Amino acid sequence: MSAKNKEFGGSFVSRNPRFEYLPDWDRFLSAPPQPKYKFNIIGVGVMGQEHMRVTALEGRATVHGVYDTNPKSIEKAKEIFAALYPGQTLKVYQSLEEACLDPEVDGLIICTPNFSHIDVVKVAVKSGKHILLEKPMATTIKDAYEITRIAKSHPDVFQIGLQYRYKAIYVEAIHEALERKTLGEIKQISIQEHRVPFLDKVNQWNKFSKYSGGTLVEKCCHYFDLLNLFAQARPLSVYAVGNMAVNFKNFEYNNEKSDILDNALVTVVYENGITAGFNLCMFAPMFYEELVICGDEGRLKAFENEDFLPVPRPKNHLEIMGGEGRPSRIASPSYPEDIEKSGHNGGTYYEHKYFIDNIEGKKTSTATVDEGFWSVVVGVAAEESVKTGKIINIKELLNENGIFLNT
């Protein structure tokens, strides 16, 4: 059968179960992509399981094996693998070294708890394989900087998993604000997240700042990455207020009391004069994200909402207000339904897609290790500001951590 051209710009036909009655040799438009790569997933909790699903959905790679110290995570991974790859066997490694150094494998996807990233990376880079490291890259500035230096000397792809920039609303916002310059010169940026509390993790590590880096590092590095991206500059100073108002106030685990923030207001001033704000509430009965960017020629607002109510309304929303200067419009950016349902409204799917594109030498917009580093820096600065009540000067914070940057 002759090769496909571009009859369809995607593989949504091959993913449609209606065509499963056809034998493989009799498929053309519905022929699935042939996997070229094998990945091992290090850490198969919620995020690792999500990567298992999007690997199969995207189709250019397969999951070869997994490593995790939690037996129940391995059991769940086996269950997911059996559904994704009927008749095949998932390789379960007994050590991190064995999982990283297996010559059968092309890439490693690291989804272990935040505090373990630095130690896992030190083993993973010995493999010389392509690496996707989930966010946040580390829990401290020192560890993040060390990973940055390690990554820059790594011979293959080293990608940071800041996948929110691939959500449909943010892809469109990036295009409008940074590529089309629809808003003119950006002056002010605001992001808010209102959502339910942190969910359960193995050993409840996300309830303790010493393991997670704190809420403003663990969860909010995504949003600080977006603020940094839209500002197109380095942060100059950070001021934040926040506390533990509702969630986990009486939560104890292994005789330790939870100490994470459940709300915060963060202000970031950038070297180019742009000001940015972030509003977090983690005791709201919904999942809601909102971005507002104001430029000297217009205003952009985008939001994503899941509020569990039966009232029909757009889940994704984008509006551009240009006044009399240019056309305004309202839209609902989205991806195909199966991609949006695969995790983080499609963000993880495209994070994975671009990981493979990077392996194949194609140009992508994936987060660099430097961008991963600066998202952690803002998060750590915000946590420090909450603790001390002071405005945190970023240069001074870096110097205190033994980091002296020329520019």
Determine the average pLDDT of the residues in 327-350: 95
In a domain, 8, yes or no: no
In a domain, 1, yes or no: no
Q: Do 110 and 36 share a structural domain?
A: yes
Determine the average pLDDT of the residues in 75-81: 98
Mean pLDDT of the chain: 95
CA–CA separation, 389 and 374 (whole Å): 21
In a domain, 227, yes or no: yes
In a domain, 316, yes or no: yes
Among 9-23, 195-209, 256-270, name the one with the lowest average pLDDT.
9-23
Write down the pLDDT at residue 8: 64
Domain boundary among 162, 185, 215: 162
Q: Do 297 and 251 share a structural domain?
A: yes
Tokens of 136: 């946040």
Determine the average pLDDT of the residues in 297-318: 94
Is pLDDT of 403 > 80?
Answer: yes
In a domain, 244, yes or no: yes
Q: Do 228 and 98 share a structural domain?
A: no
For residue 83, give the amino acid letter. A
Is pLDDT of 29 > 80?
Answer: yes
Q: Do 231 and 125 share a structural domain?
A: no
Rounded alpha-carbon distances, angstroms, from residue 398 to 142, 222, 228, 237, 360:
9, 20, 17, 12, 35
Is pLDDT of 183 > 80?
Answer: yes
We report the CATH number of the domain holding residue 251 as 3.30.360.10
Residue with tokens 């685990």: 253
Determine the average pLDDT of the residues in 10-20: 80
Q: Do 316 and 378 share a structural domain?
A: yes
In degrees and rounded to multiples of 5, residue 239 shows phi and psi of -130, 135
pLDDT in tens, 43-52: 999 999 999 9
Q: Do 390 and 262 share a structural domain?
A: yes
Is pLDDT of 18 > 90?
Answer: no
CA–CA separation, 164 and 347 (whole Å): 6
Element (H, E) at 109: strand 107-110
- Check residue 175 and report its DSSP letter: I
Residue ranges making up the domain that contains 180: 165-400
CA–CA separation, 297 and 208 (whole Å): 43
Domain boundary among 118, 142, 162: 162
Tokens of 124: 């993973």
In a domain, 28, yes or no: yes
Write down the pLDDT at residue 13: 81
Q: Do 172 and 35 share a structural domain?
A: no
For residue 23, give the amino acid letter. P
CA–CA separation, 327 and 182 (whole Å): 10
Write down the pLDDT at residue 33: 82
Asked if residue 304 lies in contact with residue 164, where contact means CB atoms within 8 angstroms, the answer is: no
Per-residue pLDDT band at 2 (split at 50, 70, 90): low
Tokens of 226: 């977006």
Per-residue pLDDT band at 9 (split at 50, 70, 90): low
CA 125 to chain centre: 21
Write down the pLDDT at residue 228: 98
Domain boundary among 118, 143, 162: 162
Alpha helices, H only, 261-393 = 337-340, 347-359, 369-388
Q: Do 210 and 353 share a structural domain?
A: yes
Give the CA angle between residues 239, 241, 245 to the nearest 5°. Answer: 165
In a domain, 363, yes or no: yes
Q: Do 199 and 325 share a structural domain?
A: yes
Q: Do 210 and 307 share a structural domain?
A: yes
